[in-house]
Amino acid sequence: MNHASPVGILVVDDDQAICDICRKYLERDGFRVKTVNDAPSARKAFKEAQYQIVVIDVILPGENGIDLLGELRELDSDVCVIMLTGQPSMSGAIEGMKNYGAIDYLTKPIRLDYLRSVIQTAINKHGLASDPVEFITREVGRRIRHERKELNLTLRQLSKRIGLSTSLISQIERGESSPSIPTLYKVSVALAKPLHQLFEGF
């Protein structure tokens, strides 16, 4: 298993100024960002590279972002899509678009802090990793949760076996806490799983 690469974000908006602002702001946070100004360019970019998150303006030259949303989700059903609108009156309609796969929407002018918050929510919700350490932490947590459930153990039962709080074990399983090697050793013994298997493939 390879180290995780930076989360890829594709921004689709015909306003180049918005594209530039988003790119500079998100690249500063370590994301891999590409911006395009129309739907055809978005389709091309999406097929040429991997993007986990796409930010789409509702109104694009000659087309609309809702159709593009549907097309991209057909290409990748797991992609996170965030819609943009310069018309607050459309917010209700966009809210309904969540039923078609959009995870959220933003109104213009964009509040960059809110954009970052929505993207972070998408990362957490979909288990995306923006760096290798975060990726490994999440994957090890997923493996621990899988092994625990295979043994039909509750969090409380595992907690009693290893002497850790249920909240800490839950955080480890969700990848929200990076456990120490001694802690992982206790977990592996409790799960009857060799420690090295929790890291297999990294």
Distance of CA 71 to the CA centre of its chain: 19
Q: What is the mean pLDDT of residues 38-63?
A: 93
pLDDT digit string, tens, across residues 150-197 = 999 999 999 999 999 999 999 999 888 888 999 999 999 999 999 988
Average per-residue pLDDT for the chain: 85
- Alpha-carbon distance 52 to 86, whole Å? 24
- Alpha-carbon distance 117 to 107, whole Å? 14
Q: What is the mean pLDDT of residues 143-149?
A: 92
Supply the pTM of this predicted model. Answer: 0.62
Amino acid at 69: L
In order of their start, the domains of the chain are: 8-126 (3.40.50.2300), 132-198 (1.10.260.40)
- Alpha-carbon distance 141 to 147, whole Å? 10
Pull the structure tokens for residue 129. 């990793």
